[in-house]
Structure 1
Amino acid sequence: MLLLKQLCTRVARAAGLLLLLFAGGGCNGDVFIDDFMPGNPPSVSIEQEGETVTIPFEAANWGIRSLGSMYNSFGVQVTDLEGNDLSLPLDEGQTGIVRIIDDYLDLEAVKRNGREVELTLRENLFDNPVELNLVVGNSYEEKTIPVRVASGTKYRVDSVAYDWSRFFTYDYKAEWVYSIIVDNTQATDTTWAHIRPYEKAVRRVRFSIQGEVMGKDYYTTILGAPLPEVPIPDVVDGKPLLRDTRVTFDPDEQDLPVDLDKNFTVLVPVPGGKKMEVGAYVSVEYYGVPFVLYCSHPYSGRTRTFCGTLSSDRPYDYFYTRTELPPTHEEE
């Protein structure tokens, strides 16, 4: 009986020792995991387009978990180093490219090995710096690296092309300018109404841009403020001709001066005993032509095109109308 009791005691001690060994082994596994980024993560600032900042790591047991902003939603592309599609998060030790490529921002994070990640700013079209977070880590630990990218250069206009084969024009459009009522019912002699048909005369042009309707701030963010000027055609003998006329590439309608005397006055007769409405009108030359605006970014190499139709209304002549009105009750 004593021998059995001693045997049980030895078995219990051996089991306890094994438990301690297993427990110690587990603790050592946690304690001695390589620390890929000791201490606080660095703050990264990228000051200009084309600049690359390299972030070093002490160990290779990490992956890119996310890249983005708390304040904006950006489109993100994820590929391996050969360009094949991947998705976030990247696994521990996995290489790849994570790229924010949006309307206004293009930033690339490249992990070629476990010891560094390269951040390259292609373009930041926002008028202010953008604050981002690069999150890296593994199944045990994550660290957030603040990334600040400075505002950069806007796109430039390379050229504008017009499709002359689809140019169309006509000159039989009329626009009302204003009307006046002349009451000559109490007189026997003719009176003369003075009208100035060109006093409001302007040439109106508009770029109607295809696709989703965007506000003016969309275009100033991409192309800068003020928006760039581009050449537009005039009509000479019924045909388009590019001369020296330039306008701002603006989605809003623009008024251009015309070579007409705003003080030019026309005398319109109103016979005695008549009450008339005199209307002033201008004859308008209209044209429309499809266009493509070609733009490029000097650092990112990206190109953009804006397509649509340019339209123009230009007054070139006048006419007036006279409409006889019935006398008022007091005049009858």
Structure 2
Amino acid sequence: MGESIAAVVVRAAELTARGLPRRAIELLRPALVADPRHGEAWCRLAAAHLDVGEPDPALDAAKRALVLDGDHAWAQRLAALALSELGRHAEAAVAARECVRRKPGDWRCRVVLAEVLAAAPDTRVEAVEVAREAAHLAPTEARAFQVLGDAALRVRDWGTAEWAYRSALALDPADEDVHANLATVRRRRSAPGLSGDALSRAHELAWPALSRVAALLVAGGLVLFLAGMPKPTPLLGWFSGALVVAVCVVVGQLVLRGRRAVWVLPRYRPKVAVVGALFGASTLVVAGWTVALFLGATTMQPLVIGWMCALVGGAVVVLGGGR
């Protein structure tokens, strides 16, 4: 039976390498029912579950491997990755650190630790150092440099990120993810006269301002809509004009505080660009409607269009959460 399950493990590894982890799972499950004390098979099963995006069964399989004979460092790596996928970052970090303790010279343990640390904001700086150690241990492994680039990208260390991605591509030129990440780094570094930190500070200023604009346009538009029923009058134009002025004041304060970075920010933060476009359209429509009211117009349709733009933009602000 030992030879039989060993053969199954080899076939499962081949299936996973060919991009067929689901078939590997189907192959390993019955074999483990017959021989549940094969640690390598449990590790292979955990890896296959991670490949198909199933962290719960992956964690269960890794835990089974940890109590059996075999490569416990591999089982710890798999457990750490599964815990990280489940959002249990503290436990994932403990498992990954234990993996490094068991095999301090294994670059794969440090890669997993770097990935886990990079997932939590308060340990991202440490993740860069751990990934740097992994790259030092494995100078011929593209994966080590990719993880270093990913960790540096999260802390906006553009120089380290670009060097790491370029090193990874020198080892594996066909990796499309690394090509895409390198393009992102170069695009962000190319902001004229602005650092990544300046863009981050501008984003921190912009999102609260956009939240205030959302509140003004959504709540103010609803009040105007109710007040203008069934037929708006020129008097309502004073109130809609005040709404437009209030929005301009909030935007003006943002521009004064953020200065040049605010104008560049939409190029590097797509959600800011989308929200800004929607709120800009809403404000222009309300301003045009205000002028039309003073000229004697009695339609409410432009206000409805402007309010809908503000509502969609406000939804993006709420769901985006400033990330």
TM-score (norm 1): 0.23
Highest RCO, 1 vs 2 (Cα 8 Å, sep ≥ 6) = 1
Determine which structure has the larger helix proportion and give its number.
Answer: 2
TM-score, normalised relative to structure 2: 0.24
* Structure number having the greater strand percentage: 1
Q: Determine which structure has more spread, i.e. the larger CA radius of gyration.
A: 1
